[in-house]
């Protein structure tokens, strides 16, 4: 897919979804794979792109994946994690469960990501406008690539 996208000549952002099987464990590819992210990213990164992102991943998995990508990718890096909410999934048994990250905690985490060299920050499932709006005032307008 990356090869086909690159063939268009348009800018291409390559993204990785990852998960943790256990807190503190290594990040793994996708939703339920046993493949370590460290090995799974190499063939994709070798193809290139204009930016690499970690997307639709829990914040802990995003934090675990960031050093792996930063060590292997010299260009722009983006992050748009999920909030691990379940209330937007009507069939989930914990539908009344609150957000796992407050807007203030998200801003603090975003500052850490910028300090680690991330240039693009957004949000996925459960990251709402109240999480994103404060980033405008809290983060620098430009972060150079490493």
**23-59 confidence digits (pLDDT tens):** 889 999 998 889 999 988 989 999 999 999 999 999 9
Q: If pLDDT is split at 50, 70 and 90, which confidence band does 103 have?
A: very high
Angle of helix 59-72 versus helix 103-115 axis, rounded to 10: 10
Model pTM? 0.85
Strand (E) or helix (H) holding 12:
none
Radius of gyration in angstroms for the set of CA atoms belonging to the chain, rounded to a whole number: 16
Confidence (pLDDT) at 85: 63
Residue 18 pLDDT: 94
Comparing CA positions, the residue from 79, 24, 87, 26 lying closest to residue 56 is: 79
Task: Report the length, in residues, of the chain.
Answer: 146
Burial class (CB in 10 A: 0-12, 13-18, 19+), 128: middle
Q: Name the one residue in this structure whose structure tokens are 């792996």.
A: 68
Residue 36 has what pLDDT?
93
Nearest to 31 by CA among 19, 41, 21: 19
Domains, the chain, ranges and CATH? Answer: 12-138 (3.20.20.330)
pLDDT in tens, 59-102: 999 999 999 999 999 999 999 999 876 555 444 444 444 557 89
pLDDT computed for residue 87 by the predictor? 56
What pLDDT is attached to residue 95?
Answer: 45
3-class DSSP state for residue 83? coil
Residue 145: the pLDDT is 66
- Tokens found for residue 7: 């063939």
Q: In angstroms, how far is CA 41 from the centroid of its own chain?
A: 14
Q: Is the pLDDT of residue 10 over 70?
A: yes
């Amino acid at each position: 897919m990356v090869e086909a996208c690159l063939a268009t000549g348009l800018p291409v952002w390559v993204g990785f979804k990852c998960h943790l099987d256990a807190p503190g464990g290594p990040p793994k590819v996708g939703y339920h794979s046993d493949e370590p992210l460290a090995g799974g990213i190499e063939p994709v990164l070798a193809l290139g792109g204009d930016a690499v992102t970690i997307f639709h991943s829990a914040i802990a998995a995003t934090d675990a994946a960031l050093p792996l990508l930063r060590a292997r990718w010299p260009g722009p890096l983006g992050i748009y994690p999920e909030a691990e909410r379940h209330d937007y999934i009507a069939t989930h048994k914990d539908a009344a469960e609150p957000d796992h990250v407050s807007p203030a905690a998200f801003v603090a985490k975003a500052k850490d990501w910028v300090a680690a060299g991330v240039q693009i920050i957004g949000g996925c499932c459960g990251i709402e406008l109240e999480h994103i709006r404060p980033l405008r005032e809290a983060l620098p307008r430009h972060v150079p690539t490493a």
